[in-house]
Structure formats: structure tokens, C-alpha cells
């Protein structure tokens, strides 16, 4: 109960702090003026990021002797991201459950491959972050000051407001880690589970097509970035922002979603709005951009999750009839 209610409450609280004085009539005007071509292309990259992640997951399972259906792997990814909207971080578990139900692959082993994936994704985030910070070091430093790391901050978010958001986010991460550690303690009681888990983690070292795994990893993050970057061209106030600016904003958003709120709601908006203002975008326009982009991307995740559940159920029904 706490794991479900707390993230939603935290996200809602931070969003309220950010949009308390926002005029929502301007949101409708921005929606009417959106360039839907670039929005459609952005959506395509968003879908492809999940599809490639499904393909990559199938690749990591091959060294374990499993050949799951590509469609099941991709649909499991769709469901996992949708599940994270309800309970942050539960998606990793849900996709392994789906694979066990539909492909008879042991839960522990598939979870081990997920851990391997996440470790490499973390390295990608660190690499992209390093590049973005180096290229935009002055802007990055100013963002930290305005977020509450400077007593002289007088911009969009006061020092007190920035610190409050940071403290709330830190507290949420601490609660998440508590539940994860508690679960790990329970897992350690099952030697067979741990054995399969380790096998899954080590699957990458046995992979024959390592180059393809790297290529797909780069492809995933390229699609993530393009999904975000192309949204700049949907609005007149953001289409002039540079590629370097997009990279820093993308990194800030990627780090913000670590906070366990539904799809990073709240912290993501705070980071995007704060940095866009530093690039000369008006506060109202930055608020509109963050709200529309995050809402549409969240809606996409939800729709894909519903689609995947329907397709998985259809596949399950067909298999039952075939067995008869």
C-alpha cells in the first residue's frame, strides 16, 4: 500500500509546487499550435526504444538456452513500463513473470538478465551525462545553483523550494531502497533462486553476438534521445534550442526519473523547466513543454501496455487451442 500511495503522493505534491500558479488555458493554446508531424516522428522513436529493448532482452536469454518469441519479449517490455506507472520499479518483475507464464523461462534467470541490462544502461547514462556536463558545464553549474545548491538563488525556484524538492526526492529514493533491501533479504533464503539469478547475470559473458548487444544498447538510448529531442520542433519557443541543450535536458530528465514517482512525474518537470529557463525559454513556455511532453509520453506508455496485455492474452488463447 505504501509503495503505491507514496510515489503518487510525492509526484502530485511536487507537481502542485511547480504548477500552483500556472495558467492552464495556455496549455490548450500550445496543444492547438503543436507541429503534429514532429510529434508523430517522436512517438515512433519512443515505440522503437521499447521494441529494441525487447530484442536485446531476447539476445541476453540466448546464452541460457532459451529462445523466446520476439513478440512476447517486446510485449513484456511494453507491460513493464506501464506497470511502473502504477508502482515504480515493479516493471522489471512483471516482465519476468510474463516471460515465465508465456515462455516457461524461470523467473530468477530472466530477472538476472534484467539486472545485467540495468547495469549496462546505468553505464550508458553515466557516459551520456559526462558528455553533456562537459559540453554544457556553465549551464549545468547554474542549474545546480538555482535548484537549491546556492544561497543566492533567486530564479524560478527559490533555494528553499529547490531544497524541499531535493529532500522529498531523496526521501522517496531511501524508502524505495528500504523495500528493495528487505526483499533481497527474503530472496537470500532461497538458494535455488540465487543460483538461477547468478546464472542470468552471467549470461552476458557467454553471449556470442556481443557486438549486436552493444549496437542495440546504443540504439535504445539513441531512440530515447530522439523521442525527447524531436519534441523541441513541436513548439515555436523550443525549436531553436541546440543539440547540446537537448543533451543536457535529456540527461537531467533521465536522472530525475530515478526518483520513485510515476514515470518521474514532478522531479522530471522540475529539472526540465529549470534548465529550459537557463536557455532563455520563458517560464510559462517551459512549463507547457514539460507538461505536454511528459503527459504524452506517459500516455504512450499506458497505451502500449494495454495493447501488449491484449496481444499477450490473444497469443495465450491461440496456444491453448493449438494444444487441444
Q: What is the mean pLDDT of residues 133-148?
A: 75
Q: What is the mean pLDDT of residues 102-113?
A: 87
pLDDT at 149 over 70: no
Question: In this structure, what C-alpha cell is assigned to residue 194?
Answer: 540465487
Question: In this structure, what C-alpha cell is assigned to residue 107?
Answer: 523467473
Question: Which residues, 6 or more positions from 106, have their beta carbon under 8 angstroms from its beta carbon?
Answer: 100, 196
Q: Which domain holds residue 308?
A: 2-16+26-313
Q: What is the mean pLDDT of residues 295-304?
A: 96
As for how many domains the chain has, the answer is: 1
Weakest mean pLDDT among 15-24, 128-137, 138-147: 138-147
pLDDT in tens, 10-45: 788 888 888 988 888 888 899 999 999 999 999 999
Q: Would 318 be classed as within a structural domain?
A: no
Taking CA 62 as the corner, what is the angle to CA 56 and CA 66, rounded to the nearest 5 degrees? Answer: 115
pLDDT at 153 over 50: no
Specify the higher pLDDT residue, 71 or 21: 71
Buried b (16+ CB within 10 A) or exposed e, 184-222: eeeeeeeeebeebbebbbebbeebeeeeebeebbebbbe
Specify the higher pLDDT residue, 86 or 178: 86
Q: Would 92 be classed as within a structural domain?
A: yes
For the chain, give the percent of residues with pLDDT over 90: 43
Q: What pLDDT is stored for residue 151 in this prediction?
A: 40
Question: In this structure, what C-alpha cell is assigned to residue 54?
Answer: 525487447
Q: Would 321 be classed as within a structural domain?
A: no
How many other C-beta atoms can be found within 10 angstroms of the C-beta atom of residue 22? 15
Q: What pLDDT is stored for residue 179 in this prediction?
A: 57
Find the DSSP H helices in the chain.
2-19, 25-32, 36-61, 70-86, 91-103, 107-135, 137-144, 159-187, 191-201, 210-229, 243-256, 267-278, 283-323
Query: Nearest-CA neighbor of 168 among 3, 317, 14?
Result: 14
pLDDT in tens, 182-202: 555 544 444 554 555 565 556
Q: What pLDDT is stored for residue 267 in this prediction?
A: 87
- State the distance between the two ends of the chain, measured CA to CA, in whole angstroms: 41
Q: Would 187 be classed as within a structural domain?
A: yes
pLDDT at 82 over 70: yes
Q: Would 21 be classed as within a structural domain?
A: no
Query: Nearest-CA neighbor of 238 among 290, 193, 296, 281?
Result: 281
Question: Which residues, 6 or more positions from 237, have their beta carbon under 8 angstroms from its beta carbon?
Answer: 281, 282, 285, 289
Q: Would 320 be classed as within a structural domain?
A: no
Q: How far is CA 110 from the centre of its chain?
A: 20
Specify the higher pLDDT residue, 118 or 275: 275
Identity of the highest mean pLDDT range in 44-58, 80-94, 108-122: 44-58
Weakest mean pLDDT among 119-133, 185-199, 217-231: 185-199
Q: Which residue has the cell 520513485?
A: 260
Question: Which residues, 6 or more positions from 243, have their beta carbon under 8 angstroms from its beta carbon?
Answer: 229
Q: What pLDDT is stored for residue 156 in this prediction?
A: 43
Using CA atoms, how far apart are residues 94 and 312, in angstroms rounded to an integer?
A: 13
Q: What is the mean pLDDT of residues 300-320?
A: 91
Specify the higher pLDDT residue, 205 or 49: 49
pLDDT at 226 over 90: yes
Q: Round the average pLDDT of the chain to a whole number and report it.
A: 82
Q: What pLDDT is stored for residue 157 in this prediction?
A: 45
Q: Would 39 be classed as within a structural domain?
A: yes
Q: Would 194 be classed as within a structural domain?
A: yes
Confidence label for 120 from pLDDT (cuts 50, 70 and 90)? confident
Please provide the DSSP assignment of 257-282 as one string: TTSSSGGGTTHHHHHHHHHHHHTT--
Question: In this structure, what C-alpha cell is assigned to residue 187?
Answer: 530472496
Amino acid at each position: 500500500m505504501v509503495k503505491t500511495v507514496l510515489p503518487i503522493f510525492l509526484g502530485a505534491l511536487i507537481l502542485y509546487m511547480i504548477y500552483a500558479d500556472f495558467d492552464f488555458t495556455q496549455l490548450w493554446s500550445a496543444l492547438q499550435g503543436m507541429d503534429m508531424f514532429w510529434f508523430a516522428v517522436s512517438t515512433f522513436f519512443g515505440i522503437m526504444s521499447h521494441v529494441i529493448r525487447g530484442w536485446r532482452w531476447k539476445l541476453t536469454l540466448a546464452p541460457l538456452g532459451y529462445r523466446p518469441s520476439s513478440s512476447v519479449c517486446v510485449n513484456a517490455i511494453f507491460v513493464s513500463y506501464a506497470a511502473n506507472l502504477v508502482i515504480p520499479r515493479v516493471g522489471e518483475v512483471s516482465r519476468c513473470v510474463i516471460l515465465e507464464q508465456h515462455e516457461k523461462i524461470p523467473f530468477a534467470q530472466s530477472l538476472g538478465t534484467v539486472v545485467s541490462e540495468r547495469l549496462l544502461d546505468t553505464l550508458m547514462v553515466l557516459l551520456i551525462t559526462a558528455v553533456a556536463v562537459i559540453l554544457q558545464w556553465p549551464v549545468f553549474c547554474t542549474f545546480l545553483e538555482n535548484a537549491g545548491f546556492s544561497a543566492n538563488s533567486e530564479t524560478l525556484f527559490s533555494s528553499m523550494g529547490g531544497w524541499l524538492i531535493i529532500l522529498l526526492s531523496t526521501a522517496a529514493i531511501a524508502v524505495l531502497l528500504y523495500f528493495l533491501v528487505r526483499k533481497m533479504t527474503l530472496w537470500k533464503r532461497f538458494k535455488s533462486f540465487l543460483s538461477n539469478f547468478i546464472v542470468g547475470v552471467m549470461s552476458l559473458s557467454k553471449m556470442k553476438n556481443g557486438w549486436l548487444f552493444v549496437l542495440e544498447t546504443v540504439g535504445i538510448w539513441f531512440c530515447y534521445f530522439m523521442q525527447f529531442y524531436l519534441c523541441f520542433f513541436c513548439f515555436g519557443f523550443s525549436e531553436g534550442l541546440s543539440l547540446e541543450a537537448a543533451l543536457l535536458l535529456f540527461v537531467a530528465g533521465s536522472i530525475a526519473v530515478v526518483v520513485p514517482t510515476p514515470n518521474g512525474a514532478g522531479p522530471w518537470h522540475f529539472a526540465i523547466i529549470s534548465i529550459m529557463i537557463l536557455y532563455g525559454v520563458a517560464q510559462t513556455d517551459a512549463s507547457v513543454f514539460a507538461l505536454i511532453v511528459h503527459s504524452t509520453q506517459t500516455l504512450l506508455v499506458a497505451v502500449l501496455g494495454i495493447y501488449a496485455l491484449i496481444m499477450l492474452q490473444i497469443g495465450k488463447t491461440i496456444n491453448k487451442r493449438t494444444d487441444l
